[in-house]
């Protein structure tokens, strides 16, 4: 699973990436997290809220730090 966290490096974006990393470690899910900080790339996903979470090219959440339970649900699919 290919997870991308879009955000220019603000506090919320880092928190989101950290949370996802934690969930991956806890559940042992087969996934990688990548932070995307480049504005051009962020824009090309068509989202405006940051942080946004993209999993396998699907926008899962935008403009807020997701809850841990939500992340678990995404990873289980």
Partner 1 sequence: MESKSTTNIFQKETWTNLGLSAIIPICAIGVYLWWLIYHSLPALSAWATYSVLPLQKGSHLGASIEFFLYDTPKVMMLLFLVVFGVGIIRSYFTPEKTRAFLSGKSEFAGNVLAALLGIVTPFCSCSAVPLFIGFVTAGVPLGVTFSFLIAAPMVNEIALGLLYGLLGWKVAAIYLGTGLFIAIFAGWVIGRLKLENHIEDWVTQTNVSAVTMEEEKLTFNDRIVYGWDAVKEIIGRVWIYVILGIAVGAGIHGFVPEGVMASIMGKGSWWSVPLSVVIGVPMYSNAAGIIPVVEALLGKGAALGTVLAFMMSVIALSLPELVILRKVLKPRLIATFVGVVACGILFVGYLFNMII
Query: In terms of CB distance, is 30 or 44 closer to partner 1?
Result: 44
Q: Whole-number minimum distance, CB 28 to partner 1, in Å?
A: 20
Longest dimension (CA), the chain: 33
Q: In the window 15-34, what residues touch partner 1 (CB under 8 A)?
A: none
How far apart are the C-alpha atoms of 21 and 13, rounded to whole Å? 12
Whether a cis peptide bond, with omega within 30° of 0, leads into 77 is no
Write the interaction track for partner 1 spanning residues 39-58; mark x where CB under 8 A is met and - where it is not.
xx-xxxxxxxxx--------
How far apart are the C-alpha atoms of 49 and 73, rounded to whole Å? 21
How far apart are the C-alpha atoms of 49 and 22, rounded to whole Å? 23
Is residue 8 involved in binding partner 1 (CB under 8 A)?
yes
Catalytic status, residue 61: no
Query: In terms of CB distance, is 28 or 46 closer to partner 1?
Result: 46
Catalytic status, residue 10: yes
Residues known to be catalytic = 10, 13
């Amino acid at each position: 699973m290919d997870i991308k966290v879009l955000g220019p490096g603000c506090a919320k974006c880092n928190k989101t990436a950290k949370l996802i990393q934690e969930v991956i470690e806890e559940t042992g899910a087969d996934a990688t997290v990548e932070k995307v900080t480049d504005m051009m790339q962020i824009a090309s996903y068509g989202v405006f809220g940051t942080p946004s979470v993209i999993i396998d090219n699907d926008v899962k959440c935008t403009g807020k730090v997701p809850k841990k339970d939500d992340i678990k649900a995404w990873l289980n699919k």
